[in-house]
Structure 1
Amino acid sequence: MDRIGPVDPTVADGKTPTVVVDGVHITYKVNGAKTGRGAATAALSRILSRRPDQRGGGREVHAVKGVSFAAYKGEAIGLIGSNGSGKSTLLKAIAGLLPTARGSIYTQGQPSLLGVNAALMGDLTGERNVILGGLAMGMTREEIHDRYQEIVDFSGINEKDDFISLPMRTYSSGMGARLRFSIAAAKSHDVLLIDEALATGDAKFQRRSQERIAELREEAGTVFLVSHSNSAVTSTCDRALWLESGTLRMDGPAKEVVAAYEAFTKKK
């Protein structure tokens, strides 16, 4: 079956689907016998081409197991679950960066994975990376020029020092994440996939981020948020998916799903 394709145009209950995940399984190899850049590159090549490991070593990880759901325009959906539950793997598959072993993913428009589409470079200044990231997100040079100051102000990285003129390798991880989110949030998206970006920054930045996500939803987009912060999910999303050991345990209103997940973790 096709891994990525146009979404079925059927409208359910008056809602237009933007992402349909149909019985998706995702597997990949983890090789422990050899380390280093060469091994990592070879492993990635095998994943993307679906070729088996010719050495016969390594362990196959079944990261996502038969997950199905549909997402609709205007929704903000949180993905929660324990470490290794398959949340980030599923997000990368929706973005088209990982193949499915079985099942299909259909999307309406181009999904944008925050931090990947805006592939920023450490040796370039923040200013140059705003341009590079904007182009990677599909913005024109004119759009980037018009929104440049808004992007910088939103990120908050220039509030104390002129960091925007320094190479990004001098930024903290939080500063880099804030700039990536600011670039991505400057453009409307059919489907925006956010992986832990809202865990960085102070309360002021998190509040601005949540307000911007609400605006993106009003612009008829769909937002997916992977977060270990249950409060970020309940304050930002109206729906949540709980993944555990690669399976979808619960899909429903964010507060109900988070409450069930928290009860589960207390028993462990």
Structure 2
Amino acid sequence: MSQVSIPSLLKKKQAKQAFAVITCYDAGFAKLVEKAGIDAILVGDSLGMVVQGHESTLPVSVEEMAYHTRCVARAVQQPLIITDLPFGSYNTENDCLRHATTLMQAGAAMVKLEGGSWLCDSIVKLNRAGIPVCGHLGLTPQSVNLLGGYRVQGREDDKAEAMLRDALALEQAGASLLVLECVPQKLAAQISETLSIPVIGIGAGNVTDAQVLVLHDLLGVTEKTAKFVRNFADGASSIEDALVRYKNAVEERSFPADEHTFS
């Protein structure tokens, strides 16, 4: 497996080859993810809940994201490393650039931002500085208080249309990837087909170009998981085997199945 790049993921989309992404936060697990042949690692601010025990992602700092990015980056050579900019770190263009630079220097190959067209100017500025961007639409956990909880987004026609407009705006501004979280499969298919950049789904059905799950969720470590999660450790002979099973299921589009999908 050669080093994964943004162009190589774009080629997979163009060839209609689904690819797998895993969210993990440390060197030991990152090595297993790489060994399983996973294309990309997301160092997510979900570490606030998974690792630190918070009720949300909001308390996570830039310094903590940089620390976990360094842990992952030291362990792997091949997967594309994507790191979340945490809550409050990109409210202005200058803050966004400064904190994204910190994460890139820690070992990220791309940063991820939650939000719609209001981020376009920041994305342009990041690209000018040589920083690739992954967008994130649908359920955006940093906005959980505004959204009123962890709920499916885009079921109403007007909100679905607004999400498609936001997706197009992010792509036009220079986003290279897009995460769609907890959206109806029909909308996810429309956005994936409309955009030229790869779309990574989580709770968006098997119609996107890729899937992402949190490592602890797919290994059955998390006590309470969302509808879109499958325990790949069930019946697996090892952690690596569970990761390979996840990768194969994504590539074959047998995961997510109907029971993991929102309508």
TM range (shorter): 0.3 to 0.5
Q: Please report the TM-score for the alignment, with normalisation by the length of structure 2.
A: 0.37
Higher relative contact order (CA 8 A, sep 6+): 1
Q: Which has the higher strand share?
A: 1
Larger radius of gyration: 1
Q: Which has the higher helix share?
A: 2
